[in-house]
Structure formats: C-alpha cells, structure tokens
Chain A
Amino acid sequence: MSDDETISDEHIQWMQKALDFAKDALTNSEVPVGCIIVYDNQIIGNGRNFVNETKNATRHAEFVAIDQVLDWCKKTDCASEEVFKNSVLYVTVEPCIMCAGALRAIQIPLVVYGCANERFGGCGSVLSIHSDKLPNQGPAFKCISGVFQEEAVKLLKDFYKGENINAPDSKRKKKL
C-alpha cells in the first residue's frame, strides 16, 4: 500500500496535527477521522468528519478540508488546480472509496495516512481507487501508510466502544 519512501519527520509532524482534528470529531460524536492539506509548508485546509451535523453522509474529513482549500484559493486568488497538484493530504484513516475518487478528481499527488479502513477503504483495503487505471477520474496518487497507525486505531476503537463494529449500522447504538 505504501511506497518505499521512508516516513519523514515532516510527515510525522503534520500527521500529529491531523490527529488533533480526529480527536475533535470524537468529542463531537463524529467518527474520529482528521485531515489536513499542506501546501507550501502551511496548512491551507483542515477537516474532520461532519456527517451527523450536516446530515450529509458524504461530509468526510477529506471533503471538508478540500472545501476549505477552495475557499483559501478564492481568498488568495490562487488557481486551485495548481494548489492541489502541489499539496500533500494527511488523513488519520485510509481514505474511503468516495474520498479516493475525490482525491483523484482534485489531482492530489500524495496522500499520507494512519491506519487502514477495512470497511470502506479506497486505497487498497476494499478497492484500489488510488492506483487503478481511471484516466477520466484524474491521475493516480501515491500513498504512504502507517503514520501514527496505533493512535488512529485507538481513536476509532474509542468511538466504537460498546458497539459491534461488524453489525449493520442500523443495529448499532449511536454514541451520544
């Protein structure tokens, strides 16, 4: 899943920030996933899951962060395609199939993530949207996995505590 690139200090430093957003999601009863987008050595977008608050099941951390980058581009009058093409996305959990498709659409070159997403993962776990041949969807992107994996898993476990992760969603108790 990850390439042979070693995990640099830089990646560790940014992933720490993404973890903070995941923790914020947990405090707000959202699935604890955090994400930041780094461009030119600064965070220009960050996000966490906003699924319940927006009643929109597609408001994953990646989408929230991407929308922030689009706003940032508007404010700074930058061309968003150029910004995305030169950014790195850090997310605590492997992007799902939908988000992997979105990341191709914005042409991000590199995604660094924490733990695998066994249920919905689009970067190798369920499908390999990051690397499949999909010329109309946008270019393939590289993945580096396993950065703060244990921390990311622990947050998910805290969220699903007392729930049977394998039960269908309708049968699971919502954590309030």
Chain B
Amino acid sequence: MMATNTLNNWTVEAVLEESFRNAVILQEAYICEVLDKKCTSTLVKEVPKVFPMLQHRHLRRVRTKDGVMHILICLASQVKDINSVFELLKLSSINIECLGPPELHKVSDSPPLTRAQFIEGSQHWPSSFHEDKQLERVLKGELFPIEDLKRIEQHMVEAIKMAEIARSNGYYAMGVVVVDPSDDEIMVKCHSLCPVDASNINSVELHPLQHTPMIAIDLVARGQGGGIWKYDTNKFYCKSNPTKAHDKEGPYLCTGYDVYLTKEPCIMCSMGLLHSRIGRVFYGEASKEGALGSRYKLHVQQGLNHHFKVFRGILSNKCKALEMS
C-alpha cells in the first residue's frame, strides 16, 4: 500500500534538515565553446589539472546543448579576471585554438541533495546526482502506510488525554507518551507538573527542571529500577521491568523508543531525549522556542553523535486547542 501523510483532519510532516529544502545557490564560472570536438578528451584531462575544482566535483566539465559543446574551465573566483583564463591555460599543453572565448556562466555552488535541487541546478549547468529514494518519498509526503498513521494517531490521543488531565488539575496542558514501536506497547504516560497559576503555590514545591519530557525520561529509568525524582506516581503510568529492555546498554534506555508529545519540546528536553538515545519523536503543535524544528533542529544538528527522526503535525488542531480552552 502507498505511504501517505494525511489521516482524518491532520497531516504529518517530517522535520528535515534545512538544506533539503534550500533553493540552489549559484556561482559564476567561465565556460568556453569547444570548437574542435577532437580536442575534447585532451581538454577534459588537462583543464582540471590547471583548474581543479575540489569543492565543486558535482559539476560536469562538458555540456552539449543543441549540438554545441561547452567546457567548464574554472570558477570565476579562481582567476583574477577573464584574461587570466587563457593566460593560465597557455602554460599547459592545452591548444587554446580549439576553444572559443571564455564566457561567464552560472553554475550551482553545492551538490544537489534532492531531485528538485538537481533539476533546478541543471537548468544552468549539468551536475552529477545520487538520488536518495527514501528521502524523495519523504519529500513527496509518502511517509507512513495508513495502518502506521492510525497507530500514531492512537498514541497521540493518549498524550492528549494526559494533557487534559493536567489541565483539569491546574497544570499546563502538556502530555507525553513513550512507546516501544517493536510491539506498540506503551512504556510511560505522564503530564506537566507545572501549575498555570503559581501565585498561590509554595515555591518550594516547584521544580524548575521537571518539564514533561524530562519526567518521561525519568519514568523510563524508574521502570528499570532507576530514576531519581519523587512525585506522585499514581498520576502517571510507568511499565515496570520491560523484559525486552534488559539488553539495552547503560543509561540509553530510550534506544529504539518513540515519544509522543502534544507540544514541541524545549532545548533542554530535546537534548535530554538525545542523551537518552530516543528513536523517533512525534509532536502535535510547534512552539516558538522549540528545539526540534522551530528554533533549533537538534535532531539533525551537525557535530552531535546521535541523530533521530522527528515528525510533527499529529492531531495538530487538537493539540493546539489544548492551550486555548
């Protein structure tokens, strides 16, 4: 069955690296018409020796269009001016008689990551492209088979229920559910413990770091005989001693787990999920300073040793409505 991204009234979106959606950036380069096609093989061998383009290996050297052949000589940034192009070529064994005069031409600055970027860039100058089939499907919105979307919706319904319980108890309406996707079993369910109106609450009872995702991480640890924070656990659900978790390494107890959040997590909680090696994150509503798509994209941050997949928009209207009512 075809994968899709919509169910009922909501659409799931994969939160991807910015670079996949970026428009193609263009650079100026010098190209020459190849007047004598017999020279082509020599030119293709010799020109790169004079003008290597190590950062632009994606660009093809030769283009034939409407029967006219051009060769890419160099980037404009590699020479002082147009006159230096032939001056430098003359120093090699290249016979410049077989070349037409250098002309400025636009080429793409970086290798195409997607088919769309490949097509856009090729309108200027051809380049090589290795298609990532899975990425292309994601970009087209072919994300999940319908059965998976129904399961995703079901888990978000549970997270919304937790958020509603929080709201009816005077806490912020935020709910989190942790699921083991290998058998679709719920590991943890919890909600915010942060009161909406803190004015009549003794501040010593407030914990500034007990954001809902951090509580969820601690509850996963608690289910394994660990954990640290004390709260009324009757409020929450926590699966004790899941047998499958025993072969997990060290503290990385969220390895392979999915987490469902009604709202996009902050930077602290997002990094907490990363430290715990979360498998995938699903959230409903984006938040302005959220770290999984809005303010940062921590899950694809360069320099970090663990990346994970993030999907948003699940039951987004219901998640949005949580805060308003």
Of A3-11, A35-43, A63-71, A142-150, the stretch lying at the interface with chain B is: A63-71
Name the contact of A137 in the complex, choosing from B204, B267, B298 (C-beta under 8 A): B267
CA distance A53 to B288 in the complex (A): 35
B191 in the interface (beta carbon within 8 A): no
CB distance from B243 to the nearest CB of A (A): 16
Of B3-11, B15-23, B47-55, B246-254, the stretch lying at the interface with chain A is: B246-254
Q: Are B226 and A56 in contact (CB under 8 A)?
A: yes
CB distance from B75 to the nearest CB of A (A): 31
Of A16-24, A74-82, A154-162, the stretch lying at the interface with chain B is: A74-82
Residues of chain B with a CB closer than 8 A to A13's CB? none
Residues of chain B with a CB closer than 8 A to A51's CB? 250-251
Name the contact of A101 in the complex, choosing from B204, B224, B253, B268 (C-beta under 8 A): B268
Q: Are B227 and A55 in contact (CB under 8 A)?
A: yes
Of B90-98, B112-120, B270-278, the stretch lying at the interface with chain A is: B270-278
Interface set, chain A 59-108, CB cutoff 8 A to B: 59, 63, 66-67, 70, 73-74, 77, 79-81, 84, 96-102, 105-106
CA distance A71 to B301 in the complex (A): 35
CA distance A99 to B224 in the complex (A): 24
CA distance A125 to B228 in the complex (A): 29
Name the contact of A58 in the complex, choosing from B206, B208, B275, B288 (C-beta under 8 A): B275
Q: Are A169 and B305 in contact (CB under 8 A)?
A: yes
Interface set, chain B 234-274, CB cutoff 8 A to A: 249-254, 266-269, 271-272, 274
Q: Are B305 and A55 in contact (CB under 8 A)?
A: no
List residues of chain B with CB under 8 Å of any chain A CB. 203-204, 206-209, 214, 217-218, 221, 224-228, 249-254, 266-269, 271-272, 274-277, 288-289, 295-296, 298, 301, 303-306
**What are the nearest 10 A-B pairs in CB distance?**
A55-B226, A101-B268, A98-B271, A56-B221, A57-B275, A101-B267, A97-B271, A57-B251, A55-B221, A58-B272
List residues of chain A with CB under 8 Å of any chain B CB. 50-59, 63, 66-67, 70, 73-74, 77, 79-81, 84, 96-102, 105-106, 119-120, 122, 125-127, 129, 134-137, 168-170, 174
